[in-house]
Amino acid sequence: MRGTLSVLVQRLDQMRDSGIGVIPWSSPVPCFGSLPSAVLATVGLNPSNREFVDLSGHELQGEARRFHTLKSLGLDRWSEVKEEHLHSMSVYCQQYFWRNPYNLWFKRLEHLVSGISASYYARSGTACHLDLVPYATTSKWNTLKPFQRSALSDAAGDTLGQLIRDSSIRILVLNGTSVARQFEELSDVPLKKTEHKSWALARASGTPVTGFSYEAMIHRFANVNLGRGVLVLGFNHNVQSSFGISARVLSALRGWIARKAKEPVQ
């Protein structure tokens, strides 16, 4: 992973004055958790700013720190990064769930993947989290301008493929419609979309939000040959932010992932 991290740091240094919305002093986050031991990875858009700042926007310090920054590494700019810095950044990524994880975000995903006995938190580290773009931004992804999202995708479009290729991951779980759409765009692989009536979310207006699943078997991501088939599973509900998502729907999603994971790889 350090080779990929080195490239991401170089690109981050090149983007520092580009106005594309990256938090310039925050390190790239190629993975959350133990990539070498993971067999499943959940997939999001990009790291939350809350991985680096508190509710007041101040940089996390001391035991609250989740990832390295220029300040924590004692650097003025990313072009000064040396091998020892890359090692320390990599360790922070690998040990993320053993220090101060953003549990408000990850606990619900942990429940979903536990149906196949995968876990972020176990010392065996059978699950990890990956983002399509491994750079934290000052604003949420969907509020960035189109040119900003495009530039960030161009800067990191091959990263996910490289990380999957060099790992033992065999299942990807996409969390939400925005992730599924961005995944399709970057991978150039269409996802099969299926309606699930039992996944509908009730609304006070009386019109429920329909639940959909996404599926594919990929052997490449962007221009990267993965060397094997990787099962892609997803759902349109963002389990952290979808209003009204119930324990019943979460249980249905968990069961669906478990059933699909048992099917033979094509």
Is the per-residue pLDDT at 19 higher than 90? no
CATH number where 113 lies: 3.40.470
Q: What does the alpha-carbon distance between residue 8 and residue 98 come to, in Å, rounded to a whole number?
A: 24
Q: What does the alpha-carbon distance between residue 71 and residue 239 come to, in Å, rounded to a whole number?
A: 33
Q: Are 180 and 192 in contact (CB under 8 A)?
A: no
Q: Are 239 and 112 in contact (CB under 8 A)?
A: yes
Is the per-residue pLDDT at 251 higher than 80? yes
Average pLDDT, the chain: 91
Q: What is the mean pLDDT of residues 18-39?
A: 93
Is the per-residue pLDDT at 266 higher than 80? no
pTM of the model: 0.94
Q: Are 141 and 44 in contact (CB under 8 A)?
A: no
Is the per-residue pLDDT at 204 higher than 80? no
The whole-number pLDDT of residue 20 equals 87
Is the per-residue pLDDT at 2 higher than 80? no
Q: What does the alpha-carbon distance between residue 242 and residue 109 come to, in Å, rounded to a whole number?
A: 13
Is the per-residue pLDDT at 106 higher than 60? yes
The whole-number pLDDT of residue 77 equals 93
β-partners of residue 131 are 44
Question: Which stretches of 117-192 are DSSP H helices?
Answer: 146-156, 159-165, 177-187
Q: What is the mean pLDDT of residues 169-190?
A: 94
Give per-residue pLDDT as tens, 229-246: 999 999 998 887 656 688
The whole-number pLDDT of residue 69 equals 96
Give per-residue pLDDT as tens, 57-101: 999 999 999 999 999 999 999 999 999 999 999 999 999 999 899
Range(s) of the domain holding residue 125: 2-262
Range name among 23-27, 97-101, 145-149, 238-242 with the lowest pLDDT average: 238-242
The whole-number pLDDT of residue 264 equals 63
Domain count, the chain: 1
Helix pair angle (146-156, 177-187), 10° resolution: 60
Q: By percentage, how much of the chain surpasses pLDDT 70?
A: 97
Helix pair angle (83-94, 2-14), 10° resolution: 110
Q: By percentage, how much of the chain surpasses pLDDT 90?
A: 71
Which residue would you say has higher pLDDT here, 188 or 17? Answer: 188
Tokens standing for 70?
């220029």
Give per-residue pLDDT as tens, 34-45: 999 999 999 999
The whole-number pLDDT of residue 243 equals 65
Give per-residue pLDDT as tens, 119-136: 999 988 899 999 999 999
Q: What does the alpha-carbon distance between residue 126 and residue 101 come to, in Å, rounded to a whole number?
A: 16
Q: What is the mean pLDDT of residues 208-218?
A: 94
Q: What is the mean pLDDT of residues 233-261?
A: 87
β-partners of residue 221 are 224
Q: Are 69 and 28 in contact (CB under 8 A)?
A: no
Is the per-residue pLDDT at 254 higher than 90? yes
